[in-house]
Amino acid sequence: MGTIKVIIAGPRGRMGKEAVKMVQATEHFQLVAVLDRKYDGQLLSEIEGFQGVDVPVYIDIDQCFSEKQADVLIDLTTPETGYVHTKKALENNIRPVVGTTGFTDEQLKELTALAEEKEIGCIIAPNFAIGAILMMKFSEMAAKYFQDVEIIELHHDQKLDAPSGTALKTTQMMSQVREAKKQGHPEEKETISGARGANIDGMHVHSVRLPGLIAHQQVIFGADGQTLTIRHDSYNRASFMSGVKVCVETVMNVKTLIYGMEHIID
């Protein structure tokens, strides 16, 4: 495998810092630049915590793409910025690997069409942790047999989007095999709004936000006399990096947009 040239957007963020470490530690990856909203024109190595990482920092994405040749953009920013970055990367024939969550269905559709038109790979993965992908796959298997299911997703209190991208993706996967059902008592009423969480195709999703947490999800199925709980916990952000690495390698060999790592791992 030849060297893959990478740009990282959001390098000072919690995920971005780990991604910089991962790219630096991977022999066939080469970090060529970073996109930030501060420190324009400086070297990343001038910023605390990045000693020895001598790559330029850009604020302007167009300038970055015109001055630096890259194969892949890893985006770990915010929903608004991540969407703009992904679109610009595709327009410039740079393959996006996007961990940023919170894109709308409309945005996903538009990016899918753009990737198809440009015949260029793009991977948007709401969760890079292999264990979380398995949790979603196991939930999809179980949803065929259990119509009644609720999700409790738990994240750190700095997370911007709710419910999490992983919870949304899990409901989408379960919807494909689960017979539609409005859960709970037919005359159920919330005495306080929000008490039953978000309702997605009749499945309820509860979002917990607390300091101390990283990324956790519990999928609880119920039937007569039994429950089944499938749970995954990420205890640090390094847990996501083996997935980011697989996505960077895979995106080089695909020509469409792939939404979710479950389409990549067997």
Between 148 and 165, name the residue whose CB sits nearer to ligand NAP.
Answer: 165
| Catalytic residue, candidates 5, 137, 159, 182 | 159
Strand 215-223 and strand 148-155: pairing? antiparallel
181 lies in the site for ligand NAP, by CB under 6 A: no
**Cα–Cα distance, 157 to 123 (Å, whole number):** 26
Residue 125, annotated as binding a ligand: yes
**Cα–Cα distance, 51 to 19 (Å, whole number):** 15
In the residue annotation, 189 being an active-site residue is answered as no
163 lies in the site for ligand NAP, by CB under 6 A: no
Residue 127, annotated as binding a ligand: yes
121 lies in the site for ligand NAP, by CB under 6 A: no
Q: Which two tokens stand for residue 92?
A: 């410039």
Q: Which of residues 24-63 bind ligand NAP (CB under 6 A)?
A: 35-38
Residue 166, annotated as binding a ligand: yes
Residue 88, annotated as binding a ligand: no
Task: Mark the segment that binds ligand NAP (CB under 6 A) among 8-16, 88-96, 173-181, 248-256.
Answer: 8-16
In the residue annotation, 68 being an active-site residue is answered as no
Strand order through the sheet with 226-234: 198-200, 203-209, 148-155, 215-223, 226-234
Q: Identify which of 25, 29, 20, 22 has the alpha carbon closest to the alpha carbon of residue 1.
A: 29
Between 85 and 178, name the residue whose CB sits nearer to ligand NAP.
Answer: 85
Q: Is 110 exposed, middle or buried, given 0-12, 13-18 or 19+ CB atoms closer than 10 A?
A: middle
| Catalytic residue, candidates 155, 204, 206, 232 | 155
Task: Identify the residue among 26, 127, 171, 217 touching ligand NAP (CB under 6 A).
Answer: 127
Contact (Cβ atoms closer than 8 angstroms) between residue 33 and residue 68: yes
Task: Mark the segment that binds ligand NAP (CB under 6 A) among 24-32, 99-107, 176-184, 216-224.
Answer: 99-107
86 lies in the site for ligand NAP, by CB under 6 A: no
Task: Mark the segment that binds ligand NAP (CB under 6 A) among 110-118, 124-132, 143-151, 170-178.
Answer: 124-132
171 lies in the site for ligand NAP, by CB under 6 A: no
Strand 203-209 and strand 122-124: pairing? unpaired
Q: How many CB atoms lie within 10 A of CB 145?
A: 11
How near is the Cβ of 103 to ligand NAP at its closest, in Å? 9
Residue 191, annotated as binding a ligand: no
List, as own/partner pairs, every contact residues 243-247 make where C-beta atoms lie below 8 angstroms and the sequence separation is at least 24, other chains included.
243/125, 243/127, 243/128, 243/129, 243/130, 243/133, 244/19, 244/22, 244/74, 244/97, 244/99, 244/128, 245/22, 245/26, 245/29, 247/97, 247/123, 247/125, 247/128
All residues at 6 or more sequence positions from 116 whose CB lies less than 8 Å from its CB, including other chains: 256, 257
Amino acid at 48: E
92 lies in the site for ligand NAP, by CB under 6 A: no
Residue numbers at the binding site for ligand NAP (CB under 6 A): 9-10, 12-16, 35-38, 76-78, 81, 99-102, 125-128, 159, 215, 240
Catalytic residue annotation: 155, 159
| Residue list for the binding site for NAD(+) | 10-15, 99-101, 125-128
| Residue list for the binding site for (S)-2,3,4,5-tetrahydrodipicolinate | 156, 165-166
